[in-house]
Copies of this chain bind each other. A is one copy, B any other.
Amino acid sequence: MNFNCIVAQSGGPTAAINASLSGVISACLENNNINTLYGSINGIEGILNDNIVSLYDTFKNQSDLDILKNTPGMFLGSCRFKLSEEDQFKKIFNVFSTHNIKHFFYIGGNDSMDTVLKLSKYAKENNEDVKIIGIPKTVDNDLFGTDHTPGFGSAAKFIATTMLEIAHDTYIYNMKSVTIVEVMGRNAGWLTAATALARNEYNSSPDLIYLPEVPFSTFNFLNDVKRLLKEKNNIIIAVSEGIKDENGKYISASSSAEDQFGHTSLSGTANKLENLVKMAANCKVRSIELSVLQRSAMHNASLTDINESFDVGVFALEAASKGATGKMVTINRPSTSDYNPTIGLVNIEDVANKEKLIPRHWINERGNNVTDEFIEYIRPLIVGEANIKYNNGLPLYMNINHLSKNVI
């Protein structure tokens, strides 16, 4: 009873999403029941548009799989696509049938899990014998049902490293300064909170942390900054791009430029706060956006994250082989004292279209810092350095255009 499998990637990129792909490929290669593993280009769109490649042709040797494991971005390309029409479902299961595909693995975040939910429901209702398994990934760490998400640890490691290096950069001048660092996160503040990891025996920065989970008060913010400027020279502030006022309005959406001209693109959140501080305090103020670097900085990825991401990929095939469908692979933490994660499954209904925020009790009462309990939670996730190979001074990553010649 030989059959084929297919895998796709969706949503925003992370440093770890190709590690999960590498895990799926490795597991399939070792399974004698599987003839081949297909890859769908640009997520579910590849299946809809007959843009499918054979991954066995591309990854014939272990060294290529190791390089893929340590390559940022998404090797199969991405999409942002919500399944809705009956025809789309029919087309997808036709493709599965034509190519004798029995397992579909979808690596993605909340939206991708909606696709897993819909496809597994359709399979059940139509007696289609295809197992549909979701493999989590998102730098945002906002998926329910899992202790944390693959990709988060690497982004957190880069963000914390960069915050520490910004402290080293900032502390050199004997003058007052405020540096505001904007981190990704529209609704969940996990990545911004990760900046707290940069604190150590000599560095107390970030001095303030503002998250989307707590309404942002400009009045309290400026008071926090002015109070701290009396105590020390260099203030470093971490802020989520998605902080909102008590009415739920994005702080970044209320720049003077936008009010009068609609130029939202001119002003990010940190830039908005920079201008506020400049008006309130007589010192050097700088804003920094970590931008896409935080989700693509493979060169500083967490080994823990990369290995776990690989493992959830391997586990996905194991689960499908045992008959699971309509599930997402999870990482669980049985003990809070030791970090010994296990891998499991959760029903996709409990994950799809939901967003996990930082628990309020992991944020201090004033809403400008995180608690020690949060630090204990996040610390193990950034441990270890990924095994990046270098060539001529630059990381050796997988050729992004490698696939074009293998379209089936």
On A, residues with C-beta under 8 Å from B are 9, 13, 42, 45, 71-74, 77-79, 157, 160-162, 164-174, 197-198, 200-203, 255-257, 261, 263, 265-267, 271, 274-275, 278, 286, 288-293, 295-300, 302, 304, 379, 382-385, 390, 392-395, 397, 399-402
Q: Tell me whether A397 and B168 are in contact (CB under 8 A).
A: yes
For residue A297, which residues in chain B have a CB less than 8 angstroms away from its CB?
A: 162, 165
For residue A167, which residues in chain B have a CB less than 8 angstroms away from its CB?
A: 400
Q: Smallest CB-CB separation from A78: which chain B residue?
A: B172
Q: Tell me whether A397 and B275 are in contact (CB under 8 A).
A: no
Q: Tell me whether B201 and A399 are in contact (CB under 8 A).
A: yes
Q: Smallest CB-CB separation from A46: which chain B residue?
A: B174
5 A-B residue pairings within 8 Å (CB atoms): A42-B174, A78-B172, A160-B393, A168-B296, A266-B267
Q: Tell me whether B174 and A77 are in contact (CB under 8 A).
A: yes
Partner of A198, one of B174, B394, B400: B394
Q: How far is the CB of A209 from chain B (nearest CB, A)?
A: 17
Partner of A263, one of B257, B265, B393, B401: B257
Q: Tell me whether A72 and B168 are in contact (CB under 8 A).
A: yes
For residue A278, which residues in chain B have a CB less than 8 angstroms away from its CB?
A: 265
For residue A291, which residues in chain B have a CB less than 8 angstroms away from its CB?
A: 286, 288-289
The CA of A392 and the CA of B161, in the complex, are separated in Å by 11
Partner of A379, one of B79, B165, B201, B392: B392
Most B CB within 10 A of own CB, among A160, A169, A198: A169
For residue A255, which residues in chain B have a CB less than 8 angstroms away from its CB?
A: 266
Partner of A265, one of B79, B157, B274, B395: B274
Q: Smallest CB-CB separation from A255: which chain B residue?
A: B266
Q: Tell me whether B400 and A392 are in contact (CB under 8 A).
A: no
Q: How far is the CB of A244 from chain B (nearest CB, A)?
A: 21
Q: Smallest CB-CB separation from A76: which chain B residue?
A: B172
For residue A399, which residues in chain B have a CB less than 8 angstroms away from its CB?
A: 201-202
Q: Smallest CB-CB separation from A10: which chain B residue?
A: B172
Q: How far is the CB of A175 from chain B (nearest CB, A)?
A: 10
Partner of A400, one of B72, B73, B202: B202
Q: How far is the CB of A235 from chain B (nearest CB, A)?
A: 15
The CA of A172 and the CA of B173, in the complex, are separated in Å by 41
Q: Tell me whether B300 and A300 are in contact (CB under 8 A).
A: yes
Q: Tell me whether A394 and B165 are in contact (CB under 8 A).
A: no
For residue A166, which residues in chain B have a CB less than 8 angstroms away from its CB?
A: 292-293, 296
The CA of A167 and the CA of B293, in the complex, are separated in Å by 11
